Chain A
Amino acid sequence: MSRHEIVAGTAAPLPLNNLDTDQIMPKQFLFGIDKSGLARGVLYDLRTDASGSPRQDFVLNQPAYRGARMLITGANFGCGSSREHAVWGLQQAGFEAVIAPSFGEIFYFNALNNRLLLVTLDASIVAALIDLVSDPAKSQLTIDVERQRVVTADGAEYPFDLPARQKRMFVEGLDMIEMTLSDADAIGAYEARHYADHPWMKIDLPKQQRAA
């Protein structure tokens, strides 16, 4: 089994609703022109104090949850800014999956495009899982993507929905651009038709550089 069929390891509880992408990846980590160096930015203000030292009371700084591969968190995780850096950073910090009752929409598709697995479960089940993994002895979870089950250390199984397309994207890692470009003729035909019907929608910005 590849790591895209089974995700297994420590799950860290993060019981917060509406954890936005500004908090997942703060502004000072957004100046790069590549995707690197983002692990240190993940949940920075929650993880560190004002001097930049680790907050001992934060879950990811506790020895039992170092190296966690999953987060279990509240509703609307990843809401707010579209910054894909939030997903890249979570992955660079070792996370392979996030379990929550719901996810911000842009974050959801960003995660999908990077094969970060997002598992949506009812709020009551998520609350029970948070309680469970809050005991370090029971913090090991397995997500069986193929069977669409979250399996706890106790052997309890929680089924989750995963649309067929999303599942394929996670398990196989589809090259979306290549797939769309294989229909390039259809795009050309569409453009001709579309702008004949709606000429005002045709934007044709000049190429020259705007500068003083």
Chain B
Amino acid sequence: MAQTLYQKIVGSHTVFRIDEQHVALYADLHIMNEYTSPQAFAGLAEKNLSVRCPEKQMGIVDHVIPTHPVAVDKRTIRIDAAAHQAANFTRNCQKHGIHLFDVTDREQGIEHVVAPEIGLIRPGMVVLCGDSHTTTYGALGALGFGIGTSEVEHVLATQTLVYKVARDMRIHVDGALAEGTTSKDLVLYIISKIGAQGARGYAVEYSGPAIAALTAEARMTLCNMTVEAGARGALIAPDDTTISYVSGRIKDLPQADIVAAAAQWKQLRSDADAAFDVTHRFDASAVAPFVTWGTSPDQAISITDRIPALSSEPLERHNASKALSYMGLDAGEAIDGLAIDHVFIGSCTNARIEDLRAVADVVRGRKVAPSVRAMVVPGSGMVREQAEREGIANTLIEAGFEWRQPGCSMCLAMNDDILQPGQRCASTTNRNFEGRQGRGARTHLMSPAMAAAAALAGRIVDVRKEIKHV
């Protein structure tokens, strides 16, 4: 029977079937951070259980770590509760023999930036993590998705997950992204079209010429944010772009084995006649730079559009009014020209080297507006080092950006990178939820180039016009 790529990966990782809807799904890699794992380790201790496969666990401190620009070996967590949580994580990893990227590790960074860049994510794998943005790995043809802490405990003990198999959705994107638009604009566009629960219950497979043209990192941005449409996974079938990215990063396999594996990776695709429960088609050439105006990622518009009129449906109307009131905006207002206080370039969505290059290209030789505090938090120590080698760090610093150490930082503000009430932020992150970047803070999601342009102008602007000035 014809199968989708998703069905093939689930099939190859089914240890046994539990019932019609559920399988025991095997995890080739399980990634943990300091804040969603402690209660799982405590649960193991309580039940006197061990970790079944310590070598398939990766630990990394990323959510609570401060990003102050001190030397890597001098990094330290000053907030007591966060320091206590990180120290507890170190103890848990040591106790169970789990590889940990700790606070002072050169390769430390955001889990979803580090795992692919060090070659741990490979086509066809199943990768689990107690973090919703684990969907990132679909960019490399690996099925990744977030799990809760009870499930983290289950994976630690059994290396499997009791998993409800999702339905199949295909999102086909024709055409090509125009200059000045990126996969971030594309994903905001798609979420605005299908809604914050448009892919709930589905594993999404992206296809089409616009997807094929994306770099591996741009694909990560796309798959990362697909969870904001509620998706249980996001996949892109491996191609030469994938093979080139992955092959260059695997450290523990001889070249001959990688070549043999690549031949198998090319077979990892949906059968031509595979059936999808739902198919959406979009045209990338219709995508302009996109910006969120509200407090849900689907409340997004093109930079050239105005905030939509309120719905006549009572609950939707109530929700949109509440969002607008929180954001200090009105229906019908333009987003172009809106003054901002802060720019944040970072997160597992947009803090890879290509993102930082895009920012540098916009700001080179120019200055951040005096009214704006702008910070760049690279996705990992490796990204930071590469940006320094390429001269990007200098370009950003000369333009007036803070050049910081890696971590999740102001994406969710679990460290001291936090906005004050009422502050408006142009952010390359993934969630514009109320309070996400700080209580009362107003987040506008956008691409790195758009955030860079906003930093220079002191207001949200169309980067396509800015590029022409360069």
Contact = CB atoms under 8 A, between A and B. Distances in A.
Interface of A: 15-18, 20, 22-23, 26-27, 30-35, 45, 50, 74-76, 79-84, 87, 102, 104-106, 109-110, 113-114, 123, 127, 163-165, 176-177, 180-181, 183-184, 186-187, 190-191, 194, 197-212
B57 A27 contact: no
B130 interface: yes
Contacts of A211: 102, 104-105
B439 A34 contact: no
B148 interface: yes
A102 B38 CA distance: 29
A70 to B, nearest CB: 18
Interface residues of B, number: 98
Interface of B: 12-13, 15-16, 18-19, 21-22, 24, 26, 28-29, 35-36, 38-39, 42, 47, 49, 52, 54-58, 64, 72-73, 81-82, 84-85, 88, 90, 93-94, 97-102, 104-107, 120, 122, 124-125, 130-132, 146-151, 153-154, 157-160, 162, 164, 196-197, 200-201, 230, 232, 250, 252-253, 257-258, 261, 264, 296, 314-316, 318-319, 322, 412-414, 421, 431, 433-436, 439-440
A26 B105 contact: no
A137 B160 CA distance: 48
B258 A212 contact: no
B84 A33 contact: yes
Contact of A209 (B15, B102, B146): B102
What are the 8 A-B residue pairs with the smallest beta carbon separation, nearest first?
A110-B148, A31-B81, A113-B150, A33-B38, A205-B99, A200-B261, A84-B148, A82-B146
Contacts, number: 227
Given A76-B200, A199-B257, A22 B431 contact: yes
A186 B434 CA distance: 45
B105 A18 contact: no
A13 to B, nearest CB: 11
Contacts of A33: 38-39, 42, 84-85, 88
Contacts of B29: 203
Contacts of A106: 132, 146-148
Contact of A200 (B258, B322, B433, B440): B258
Given A17-B316, A109-B148, A212-B104, 11 more contacts: A16-B319, A17-B296, A23-B435, A34-B38, A181-B158, A187-B160, A197-B12, A200-B261, A206-B55, A207-B54, A209-B100
A163 B21 CA distance: 10
